[in-house]
Amino acid sequence: MTKTEKLNLAIKFFNKNFALILLIIAIFVLVISISSSWIKTNQQKANSKTSNNQAQNTKPQEKPENVPPITELDHLLGAENPKVTIVNYSDFNCSFCARFSSTLQKLVENYPNDVAIVYRNFLLGGVSSVSGQAAKISECIALDRGNEAYWQYNTEIFTQANANTRLTTKDEYIELAIKQGFDRAQLKSCMDTQEITQILNDQMAGAKAVGVLGTPASVLISSKGQYEFIAGALPYESLEKVVLEYLD
């Protein structure tokens, strides 16, 4: 058989079985497509499972029961013998903290015999940050003038922040303290002491033991020894609902 005859025979076979050949090609393409899709789907599932496992392994462990006990160095506002105490880890330069500060004070006003709050620093930028300097000033005020003067300073900082006149520099925080009757030289001398730095370091270490990663974050402590971690700046109604569960 010549090459021409072979070619003609192949053409005749192709023309006669054209539909069958197309069907075989279509089935082949479909099988390849399904196989590829199956492999991709299973790979995605595997990746998703790996990501979930990694997320679970890196998720912070909230341990409110690790909150350090309240001492004479803490700053309390509210009931003398509270049924609920909320230890609030905060940062003076945090807008959400300013909002939550108002929420906490409203709670104390509405439950003066049942609720107390404790303010502790968790400095997002560290002790050397602007908010760290504000924290140092506040601790110096507390040591020199006591709890009432401390809360006057604390409240004014967050009041200004909520009024969109937030303090942004170390000097502004110092000037606020001076307006409230504190001596500039004495204040700066106090801020440089190791005692003040240690107070802040201890507060931050306590926050980390609880599982705090950002601000605001709080720990609710009931008079019955129960603990609950509160993340973020809850609206007043949501916070009140949590508190009421421990006042019954």
Give the residue from 105, 183, 168, 165 showing the smallest Cα distance to 134: 168
The Cα–Cα gap between 217 and 207 comes to 9
Let me know if residue 55 belongs to a domain: no
pLDDT of residue 53: 40
Let me know if residue 129 belongs to a domain: yes
For the segment 227-232, the average pLDDT, to the nearest whole number, is: 97
For the segment 215-222, the average pLDDT, to the nearest whole number, is: 98
Token look-up 């400095």 returns 123
Over the stretch 65-86, which tens digit does the pLDDT of each residue have? 999 999 999 999 999 999 999 9
Let me know if residue 197 belongs to a domain: yes
Label residue 78 left, alpha or beta by phi (over 0 means left) and psi (-120 to 50 means alpha).
left
- Give residue 179's domain range: 64-244
Contacts 24+ apart (CB under 8 A), 171-176: 173/92, 173/130, 173/133, 173/134, 173/137, 174/137
Let me know if residue 128 belongs to a domain: yes
The Cα–Cα gap between 86 and 79 comes to 11
* Domain at 225, CATH number: 3.40.30.10
Let me know if residue 198 belongs to a domain: yes
Look up the pTM and report it: 0.75
pLDDT of residue 56: 37
Over the stretch 140-193, which tens digit does the pLDDT of each residue have? 999 999 999 999 999 999 999 999 999 999 999 999 999 999 999 999 999 999
pLDDT at 14 over 60: no
Alpha carbon of residue 183 to chain centroid: 36
Let me know if residue 211 belongs to a domain: yes
State how many domains the chain has: 1
Bridge-based pairing state of the strands 115-121 and 84-90 = parallel
Contact 115, 183 (CB under 8 A): no
Tokens of 169: 């520099």
90 class by beta-carbon count within 10 Å (0-12 exposed, 13-18 middle, 19+ buried): buried
Let me know if residue 192 belongs to a domain: yes
Token look-up 């969109």 returns 164
Let me know if residue 135 belongs to a domain: yes
Token look-up 């880890």 returns 89
